[in-house]
C-alpha cells in the first residue's frame, strides 16, 4: 500500500481505494501499482531537477561549459526504461480488464436494468416485475449483471466502491458486472455531463444480505396499500385527477404513467430527487409547491395547487410505504 493511498484513506471517506467489491479491489491494486511506479518516476524528475538547479547555477564570469550534444547510450536508456514500465502495466491492465469486464456469454439476462433519465435513475427488477428509482438495492455475495440504458442523453453509472463506471448511451445496451462483499450504503453519481441537474443525479446503492434482499424484493413487488386516513385518501384522488398519474405509476391504483419515477413505495426511500434531499414530508411539500425552484430544469412542471391540495398530496405520498 503506497503512502499516498494511506493518506487518502485517512483524510477521506469512500474513494476508489476504499472498496467493497473484488472488481474495485483489483482496479485498486492496479492503481496502487501505478502510484508506486509513478511516484518513483516523479521523484526521479524532482531530484534531478532540484539537483541540477542547485549544482549547475551559473556563477559570475563562468566560462562556457563543455558543449556536449547527446549520447546514444543515454537515449537508449531514456526510452528503454519507460518502455519496459508501460509494457508491464499494459499486461497487468489486460488481466484486470478481463477480470472486471468479461463479456456476456450466451443469453445471460440482466438482474437489474438501470435506465438513466434527466435527472434520475430508473431501476427495473425484471424477474420480480417491478420498477423503482434512485435507491438501488442489490444483494451481497452474488455476481450481478446490470444492463445500462439511457432514456434521453448520455448518462454514466459510477459507484467508486463497486468498481468501473459505464456509460449509458441512447440506442445502445451496455452491461456491467458487480460483486458486493459487504452490506452497506454505497454512494455514486452520474459521471457524464447530462444537462442542468447533472450534479443531482446521485446513486445510492443499498447492499443487503440475501435474506434481507429477498424480503425487500417481496415488499417492493406488492401493490400500494389503500391509504388509511382521509387526508391521504383525498391525496390519492387528487393524484389521479391532477394528472400526476400521466407521468407516474403507483401500482394498485389507476396511476400508470411511465415518464417519471415509479412511486409505489416512495415513502420507503431515504432520499428524494436522486439524492438531492432527505425524503421528509416537508421536502415533499416544497417540491410539489414549486419543483422548478427546488430542482431547476427538472421535467416536472409546476402545478398551481392550493395549500389543502398540497397537504393532501404530501400526506398521500408520505404514507406510500
Among positions 156-215, residues that touch another protein (CB under 8 A) are: 156, 158, 160, 163-167, 169-172, 174-175, 187-200, 202
* Residues 16/26, Cβ–Cβ less than 8 Å: no
Which parts of 180-275 are beta strand (E)?
A: 184-189, 202-208, 271-272
State the minimum distance, in angstroms, from the CB of residue 23 to another protein: 9
Cell reading at 240: 389521479
**DSSP-derived secondary structure letter, 290:** -
State the minimum distance, in angstroms, from the CB of residue 244 to another protein: 24
Strand 120-125 and strand 130-133: pairing? antiparallel
Which of 27/255 has CB closer to another protein?
27
Stretch that binds another protein, among 42-50, 238-246, 256-264, 300-308 (CB under 8 A): 42-50
**DSSP-derived secondary structure letter, 256:** B
State the minimum distance, in angstroms, from the CB of residue 297 to another protein: 6
Beta bridge partners of 184: 207
State the minimum distance, in angstroms, from the CB of residue 99 to another protein: 9
With cell 445510492, the residue in question is 204
Please write down the HEC assignment for all residues of 259-272.
CCCCCCCHHHCCEE
Which of 41/222 has CB closer to another protein?
41
Sign of the dihedral defined by the CA atoms of residues 48, 53, 58, 64, in that order: positive
Instruction: Return the H-helix or E-strand segment holding 283.
Output: helix 281-289
Which of 74/228 has CB closer to another protein?
74
Which of 101/311 has CB closer to another protein?
101
Which of 70/106 has CB closer to another protein?
70
Kindly state the number of chain residues that form the binding site for another protein, as judged by CB under 8 A.
Answer: 92
State the minimum distance, in angstroms, from the CB of residue 150 to another protein: 9
Residues with Cβ within 8 Å of residue 116, at least 6 apart in sequence? 122, 148, 149, 150, 151, 152, 154, 155, 156, 157, 168, 190, 194, 201
Stretch that binds another protein, among 48-56, 219-227, 278-286, 311-319 (CB under 8 A): 48-56
* 106 three-class SS: coil
Give, as ranges, the residues between 88 and 147 that touch another protein (CB under 8 A).
89-90, 92-94, 96-98, 100-101, 103
Which of 49/226 has CB closer to another protein?
49
Which of 22, 25, 31, 240 is in the footprint of another protein by CB under 8 A? 31
User: Could you tell me which of 222, 182, 195, 161 has the C-alpha nearest to residue 19?
Assistant: 161
Which of 1, 3, 6, 46 is in the footprint of another protein by CB under 8 A? 46
How many other β-carbons are positioned within 10 Å of the β-carbon of residue 49?
A: 10
Give, as ranges, the residues between 294 and 313 that touch another protein (CB under 8 A).
296-297
Amino acid at each position: 500500500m503506497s503512502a499516498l493511498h494511506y493518506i487518502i484513506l485517512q483524510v477521506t471517506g469512500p474513494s476508489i481505494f476504499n472498496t467493497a467489491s473484488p472488481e474495485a479491489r483489483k482496479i485498486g491494486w492496479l492503481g496502487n501499482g501505478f502510484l508506486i511506479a509513478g511516484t518513483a518516476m516523479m521523484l526521479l524528475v524532482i531530484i534531478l531537477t532540484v539537483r541540477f538547479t542547485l549544482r549547475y547555477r551559473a556563477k559570475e564570469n563562468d566560462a562556457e561549459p563543455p558543449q556536449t550534444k547527446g549520447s546514444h547510450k543515454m537515449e537508449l536508456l531514456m526510452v528503454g526504461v519507460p518502455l519496459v514500465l508501460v509494457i508491464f502495466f499494459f499486461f497487468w491492465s489486460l488481466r484486470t480488464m478481463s477480470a472486471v469486464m468479461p463479456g456476456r456469454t450466451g443469453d445471460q439476462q440482466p438482474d437489474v436494468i438501470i435506465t438513466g433519465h434527466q435527472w434520475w435513475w430508473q431501476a427495473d427488477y425484471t424477474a420480480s416485475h417491478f420498477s423503482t428509482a434512485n435507491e438501488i438495492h442489490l444483494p451481497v455475495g452474488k455476481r450481478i449483471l446490470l444492463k445500462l440504458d439511457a432514456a434521453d442523453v448520455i448518462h454514466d453509472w459510477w459507484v467508486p466502491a463497486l468498481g468501473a463506471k459505464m456509460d449509458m448511451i441512447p440506442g445502445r445496451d451496455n452491461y456491467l458486472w458487480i460483486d458486493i462483499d459487504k452490506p452497506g450504503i454505497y454512494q455514486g453519481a452520474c459521471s457524464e455531463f447530462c444537462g442542468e441537474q447533472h450534479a443531482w443525479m446521485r446513486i445510492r446503492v443499498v447492499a443487503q444480505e440475501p435474506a434481507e434482499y429477498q424480503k425487500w424484493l417481496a415488499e417492493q413487488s406488492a401493490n400500494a396499500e389503500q391509504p388509511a386516513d382521509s387526508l391521504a385518501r383525498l391525496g390519492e384522488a387528487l393524484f389521479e385527477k391532477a394528472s400526476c398519474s400521466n407521468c407516474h405509476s403507483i401500482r394498485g391504483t389507476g396511476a400508470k404513467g411511465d415518464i417519471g419515477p415509479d412511486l409505489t413505495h416512495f415513502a420507503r426511500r431515504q432520499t428524494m430527487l436522486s439524492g438531492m434531499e432527505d425524503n421528509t414530508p416537508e421536502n415533499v411539500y416544497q417540491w410539489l409547491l414549486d419543483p422548478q425552484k427546488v430542482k431547476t430544469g427538472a421535467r416536472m412542471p409546476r402545478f398551481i395547487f392550493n395549500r389543502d391540495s398540497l397537504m393532501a398530496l404530501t400526506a398521500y405520498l408520505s404514507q406510500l410505504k
